[in-house]
């Protein structure tokens, strides 16, 4: 049996060498382009309850609560089954000293792919790219696109050294509009958004403002970069309206670039590089300008609430109802509980039966 000992030792050494080689190979596989990735980590930020709190207006959130109470149902914790989801990941070979940047991309198309010409720009800037399959324009924003983007961010940040100051969300066309809504609702996660050929005004019926605490965080540090082709007239008009609305709502770190020669087309690698460079250059808003904007925004909300109270005092319930819903659309979470309390006091049909839409 003693004669076997050298052989066993040699086998152990070979096994250890083989294991080391496998680990080295696995480590190298963590970089570069990786398709059909399965993530296993849910995020508390992607819980349905949390998305409703951040992405819905006060009246919309109350409507959901009443619908659930009326049916006796509970809200599902997570919208997707991660075991069934697939992601594409592109990781630069070397992390910057402060950690990788991260771009969570929401496409208008159904498959998960890295746009042509983007790899070099991402690699040079040390930015990880991640995107989900089946997260295109035909998929539900609340049921798929929002949670998949949030889950992608959580898993990449858990696996790689990511600089929290360089976590961005972006998209093209319809995906850009979803990315904008996520950026406004999650400024504590996404520090910027790259919005390519798709946007909506903040405080519109599509893009809601979040709670006051979240919006103040956005005002202090969220960067938005709009990229739009010079021949894409509809997207140019939408971007101009969106930029104006952001500044009216005190989000001042907003920049817009027109891409020469392009129509409604995805930005190329050079334009992506310029957009990322702009996101990587945070600017602190002028304190006096920000304070003045916040004060004006608060006055506008207070005046609207006072007008509702005057409508109620006159017994004009129809005017009060119309104004409450308009304030909910315009100010969203900035109004917080005030509008829900007014709607409850009003008794003017702001909350219709669960089977009827809120109009």
| CB of 255 closer than 8 Å to CB of 224 | yes
Distance CA 178, CA 155 (A): 20
**Cα–Cα dist 147/155, whole Å:** 12
Rounded Cα distance, 37 and 228, in Å: 31
pTM comes to 0.88
Q: What is the pLDDT of residues 164-211, one digit of tens each?
A: 999 999 999 999 999 999 999 999 999 999 999 999 999 887 899 999
How sure is the predictor about 19, in pLDDT bands with cuts at 50, 70 and 90?
Answer: very low
Instruction: Name the 3-class secondary structure at 80.
Output: coil
| Total Cβ atoms within 10 A of residue 150 | 26
> Rounded to whole angstroms, how far apart are CA atoms 206 and 55?
10
Q: What is the CATH number of domain 44-285?
A: 3.40.50.1820
Contact by Cβ (8 Å): 137, 175: yes
Task: Say if residues 86 and 112 touch (Cβ distance below 8 Å).
Answer: yes
Q: How many CB atoms within 10 Å of residue 221?
A: 16
| Mean pLDDT, residues 280-308 | 93
Contact by Cβ (8 Å): 262, 196: no
Order of all β-strands in the sheet with 87-91 = 32-37, 87-91, 127-132, 100-106, 162-172, 192-196, 223-229, 254-259
CA 118, CA 17: separation in Å to the nearest integer? 37
Closest CA to 209 of 294, 94, 269: 294
Residue 20 confidence (pLDDT) above 70: no
Distance CA 340, CA 269 (A): 47
Burial class (CB in 10 A: 0-12, 13-18, 19+), 262: buried
**How many Cβ atoms from other residues are within 10 Å of residue 157's Cβ?**
20
Q: Which residues contact 166 (CB under 8 A, 6 or more apart)?
A: 98, 99, 100, 101, 102, 127, 191, 279, 280
Nearest 5°: CA angle at 255, between 221 and 148?
Answer: 65
pLDDT one-digit tens code per residue, 100-153: 999 999 999 999 999 999 999 999 999 999 999 999 999 999 999 999 999 999
The whole-number pLDDT of residue 352 equals 64
The mean pLDDT of the chain is 89
Question: Structural domain boundaries of the chain?
Answer: 44-285, 289-346
> Which uninterrupted H or E stretch holds 194?
strand 192-196
Q: What is the pLDDT of residue 134?
A: 97
């Amino acid at each position: 049996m003693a004669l076997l000992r050298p052989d066993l030792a040699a086998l152990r050494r070979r096994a250890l060498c083989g294991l080391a080689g496998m680990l080295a190979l696995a480590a190298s596989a963590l970089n570069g382009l990786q398709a059909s990735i399965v993530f296993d980590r849910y995020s508390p930020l992607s819980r349905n309850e949390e998305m409703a709190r951040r992405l819905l207006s006060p009246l919309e959130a109350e409507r959901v609560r009443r619908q659930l109470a009326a049916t006796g149902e509970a809200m599902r914790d997570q919208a997707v089954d991660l075991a069934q989801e697939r992601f594409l990941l592109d990781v630069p070979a070397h992390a910057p000293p402060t950690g990788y940047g991260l771009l969570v991309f929401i496409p208008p198309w159904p498959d998960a792919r890295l746009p042509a010409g983007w790899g070099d720009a991402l690699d040079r800037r040390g930015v990880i790219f991640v995107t989900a399959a089946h997260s295109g324009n035909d998929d539900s924003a609340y049921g798929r696109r929002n949670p998949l983007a949030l889950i992608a961010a959580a898993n990449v940040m858990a696996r790689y050294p990511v600089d929290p100051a360089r976590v961005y969300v972006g998209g093209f066309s319809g995906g850009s509009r979803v990315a904008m809504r996520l950026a406004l609702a999650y400024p504590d996660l996404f520090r910027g958004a790259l919005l390519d050929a798709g946007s909506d005004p903040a405080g519109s019926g599509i893009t809601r403002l979040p709670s006051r605490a979240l919006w103040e965080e956005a005002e202090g540090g969220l960067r938005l970069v709009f990229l739009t082709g010079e021949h894409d007239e509809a997207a140019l008009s939408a971007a101009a309206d969106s930029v104006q609305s952001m500044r009216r709502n005190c989000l001042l770190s907003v920049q817009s670039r027109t891409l020469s020669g392009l129509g409604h087309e995805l930005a190329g690698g050079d334009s992506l590089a310029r957009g990322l460079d702009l996101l990587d250059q945070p600017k602190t808003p002028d304190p006096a300008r920000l304070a003045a904007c916040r004060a004006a925004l608060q006055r506008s909300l207070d005046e609207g609430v006072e007008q509702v109270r005057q409508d109620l005092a006159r017994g004009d319930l129809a005017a009060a109802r119309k104004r409450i819903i308009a304030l909910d659309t315009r100010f969203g979470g900035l109004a917080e509980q005030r509008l829900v309390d007014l709607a409850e006091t009003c008794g003017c049909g702001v909350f219709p039966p669960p089977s009827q839409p809120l109009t």
